[in-house]
A = this chain, B = another copy of it.
Amino acid sequence: MAEIRINVLIKANPGKVYNALSTEEGLASWWAKQTVAKPEVGFVNVFTFGKQFRNEMKVTNLTPNKRVEWKCINSIDEWIGTDISFDLEEKDGNTILRFAQSGWREVTDTFAGCTYDWASFMKSLKLLCETGTGTPS
């Protein structure tokens, strides 16, 4: 099994980052503009990119200001069954964000391309939390 792991320091408190990761408005402001989401364990968030790339993510863990976790239940084949998690650790009023997408069957070109894309979206999340404006797709 392979795993994408990305850490970044966000100069905002964990509450602000948690909000961006759990609410529809937050998620639409850094990841997919077309987002249907609820901060509710068991709810299936739907993220659509353009007309074709639709992701269904079941919310499996919501620990306020600490952790958000999803199970991918519908997407491209390589993503189905992967777990996506965001861990937040407070440090001096800021947030260390630890992102992971685990359960990849193997390291492929898609894996390496998604690593680039996820890092770009972590930058978007950081910008959203620090400046109020992200760069969602």
Contacts and interface: CB of A to CB of B under 8 A. Distances in A.
A7 interface: yes
Copies of this protein, total: 2
Contacts of A120: 119, 123
B107 A6 contact: no
A5 B111 contact: yes
A116 B6 CA distance: 6
Contacts of A119: 6, 115-116, 119-120
A92 interface: no
Given A4-B115, A119-B120, 11 more contacts: A5-B115, A7-B109, A7-B112, A7-B113, A8-B113, A98-B109, A98-B112, A115-B115, A115-B119, A116-B119, A116-B122
